[in-house]
């Protein structure tokens, strides 16, 4: 049987993980194609920046409104069935939009409704996907399983999906959405074929309400010092990343002096860094003595990268810093998800992961507003320097949590 070596356990590609990995990577490819095509379609339907921002907001809003509810539902239903049914629904929605585009009946309001509906369904799918993985691979192998899953998704999204979207849009405006719909349906079939024992039925207390279930998940997250520290660091990190994304084009072109062509290459460095980070995340965890310590190192590295981005006005320096930033970001994601899976009982995993995601999502739009205003009031490079300070604080938050948590090893193996 094909396996991937990992300290203490092995990831077996057969028995479910290979199908889950393929479904996740295929879906990410389709999502990347749609995410590139969507703004191109939107620009063709309206010239109003405000209306365009409403479409973007519609994609964020469900996590704030339904994120915690999605986690509670993921802990009440058959997760395998929920995942494939959600993918079928998403495939049907995107296919219907592709038909509307082909017939010339698309409208900007339909685009906003589509973004809202897809993200609403995603709140259930993502939390169920996080919770189902410990039933497919041994818990000791979760770092490797998560790293390979995220690396595959990064490759599919950054280096395959985005370039393919440009070719597909040129062939027909509806074609990218038809491809996205097909990837959802194929992914649904793969997930439906997972072994039933991979997603055991989770039971909740008789008479328990969804509100009580959500509160229980939030309490569990808050009482775990290490997960609480990781969650707060994730909030601060997303605030910085959301703010950086809002002003990055100005930093690269106006501050660092990059041309339009070089701008694309600098952004590609970040995507490449994410792929490399997925490949080395588990090694870094073993080297420093655990996932929490790897997060501290990665957050400190991101703070240093932001100092370079905001302090050195040269495209090459910005590209190098973004590449390292991408490596560190993937290391953080892999170990935060893994720690959550390893430290949370299965019956609470959907709710705890949803609480983390919801809080993190709040940070991105808030950071975009704050950093945008800061760049307007000062210079375009200043938000990166402020972001460095915030990232340093987040590293200290996790470091304090590792020292306060009695289950964190005090020595490096």
Residue 260: pLDDT band with limits 50, 70, 90: low
Q: pLDDT, tens digit, for every residue of 186-207?
A: 999 999 998 875 555 555 555 6
pLDDT at 410 > cutoff 50 = no
Non-local CB neighbours of 387 within 8 Å, separated by 6+ positions: 240, 243, 244, 306, 310, 371
Residues in Cβ contact with 48 at an 8 Å cutoff, skipping those fewer than 6 apart: none
Cα dihedral value 33, 127, 201, 145, nearest 10: 70
Residue pLDDT, tens place only, 347-381: 888 889 888 888 888 888 888 888 888 888 888 89
Confidence (pLDDT) at 360: 83
Q: Output the pLDDT for position 408.
A: 57
All domains of the chain in start order, with CATH: 3-202 (1.20.1250.20), 215-404 (1.20.1250.20)
State pLDDT tens for residues 39-60. 778 777 776 766 766 777 787 7
The whole-number average pLDDT for the span 337-342 is: 91
The pLDDT value recorded for residue 258 is 80
pLDDT beyond 70 at 251 = yes
Residue 185 pLDDT grade (very low, low, confident, very high; cuts 50, 70, 90): very high
Report d(CA 177, CA 175) in Å as an integer: 5
d(CA 308, CA 321): 6
Q: What is the pLDDT of residues 152-179, one digit of tens each?
A: 988 888 888 877 877 787 788 888 899 9
Mean pLDDT of the chain: 85
Residues 83/132, Cβ–Cβ less than 8 Å: yes
Q: What is the pLDDT of residues 76-125, one digit of tens each?
A: 888 889 999 999 999 999 999 999 988 888 888 888 899 899 989 988 88
Residue 400 in this model has a pLDDT that exceeds 60: yes
Output the pLDDT for position 252.
Answer: 86
Q: Is the per-residue pLDDT at 129 higher than 90? A: no
pTM over 0.85: no
pLDDT tens digits, residue range 226-238?
999 999 999 999 9
What is the per-residue DSSP string for 220-274?
Answer: HHHH-HHHHHHHHHHHHHHHHHHHHHHHHHHIIIIIS---HHHHHHHHHHHHHHH
Of 56, 47, 54, 51, residue with least CA distance to 245:
56
Residues 6+ apart with CB under 8 A from 167: none
Q: What is the mean pLDDT of residues 4-33?
A: 76
């Amino acid at each position: 049987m094909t396996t991937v070596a990992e300290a203490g356990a092995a990831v077996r590609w057969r028995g479910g993980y290979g199908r889950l990995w393929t479904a996740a990577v295929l879906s990410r490819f389709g999502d990347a194609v749609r995410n590139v095509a969507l703004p191109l379609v939107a620009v063709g339907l309206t010239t109003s920046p405000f209306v365009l921002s409403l479409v973007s907001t519609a994609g964020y809003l469900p996590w704030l409104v339904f994120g915690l509810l999605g986690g509670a539902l993921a802990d009440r239903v058959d997760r395998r069935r929920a995942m494939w049914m959600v993918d079928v629904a998403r495939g049907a929605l995107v296919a219907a939009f592709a038909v509307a585009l082909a017939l010339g009946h698309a409208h900007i309001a339909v685009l906003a409704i589509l973004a809202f509906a897809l993200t609403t369904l995603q709140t259930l799918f993502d939390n169920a996907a996080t919770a189902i993985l410990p039933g497919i691979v041994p818990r000791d192998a979760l770092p490797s399983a998560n790293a390979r899953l995220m690396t595959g998704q990064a490759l599919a999204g950054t280096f395959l999906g985005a370039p393919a979207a440009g070719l597909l849009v040129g062939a027909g405006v509806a074609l990218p959405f038809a491809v996205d719909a097909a990837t959802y349906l194929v992914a649904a079939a793969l997930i439906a074929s997972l072994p039933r024992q991979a997603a055991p039925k989770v039971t909740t207390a008789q008479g328990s309400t969804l509100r009580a279930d959500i509160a229980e998940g939030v309490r569990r997250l808050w009482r775990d010092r290490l997960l609480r520290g990781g969650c707060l660091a994730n909030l601060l990190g997303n605030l910085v990343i959301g703010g950086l994304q809002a002003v990055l084009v100005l930093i690269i072109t106006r501050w660092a002096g990059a041309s339009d062509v070089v701008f694309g290459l600098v952004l590609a460095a970040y995507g490449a860094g994410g792929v490399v980070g997925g490949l080395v995340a588990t090694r870094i965890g073993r080297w420093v003595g655990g996932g929490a310590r790897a997060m501290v190192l990665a957050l400190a590295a991101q703070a240093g990268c932001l100092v370079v981005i905001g302090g050195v006005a040269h495209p090459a320096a910005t590209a190098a810093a973004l590449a390292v930033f991408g490596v560190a970001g993937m290391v953080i994601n892999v170990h935060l998800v893994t720690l959550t899976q390893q430290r949370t009982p299965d019956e609470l995993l959907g709710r705890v992961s949803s609480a983390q995601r919801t809080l993190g999502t709040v940070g991105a739009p808030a950071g975009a507003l704050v950093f945008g205003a800061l760049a307007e009031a000062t210079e375009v490079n200043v938000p990166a320097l402020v972001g460095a300070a915030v990232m340093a604080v987040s590293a200290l938050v996790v470091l304090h949590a590792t020292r306060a948590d009695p289950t964190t090893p005090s020595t490096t193996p």
